[in-house]
Amino acid sequence: MTIQILGSGCPSCQKLEANAKQAAEQLGITADFEKVTDSDKIVDMGVLVTPALAIDGTVKESGRVLSVEEIVAVLRAGA
């Protein structure tokens, strides 16, 4: 599984990445983490507002920092 954090690397992006790592750890999921900072690639993925969270290339949420609990729910639902 690849968990992608889409954004410029701002503090919100960093917080989203930290929350995603914590959520994966809570679930015992081994995941590769990828930072997507290229604006063209972010737009190509359909994201207009960052930060965004994608799982295996599918955007799950954008425009806000999800909590650890929200990311756990996303991972359980469709990952």
Domains of the chain, residue spans: 2-78
Task: Determine whether 26 is an active site residue.
Answer: no
The active-site residue, picked from 5, 6, 13, 66, is: 13
Q: Are 36 and 51 spatial neighbours (Cβ–Cβ below 8 Å)? A: no
User: What are the pLDDT digits (tens) for 35-64?
Assistant: 999 999 999 999 999 999 999 999 999 999
Of the candidates 73, 69, 77, 41, the one whose C-alpha atom is nearest the C-alpha of residue 5 is 41
Which pTM value belongs to this model? 0.93
User: What are the pLDDT digits (tens) for 1-16?
Assistant: 999 999 999 999 999 9
Task: Determine whether 38 is an active site residue.
Answer: no
The active-site residue, picked from 1, 8, 9, 10, is: 10
Q: CATH number of 2-78: 3.30.530.20, 3.40.190.10, 3.40.30.10, 1.10.510.10?
A: 3.40.30.10
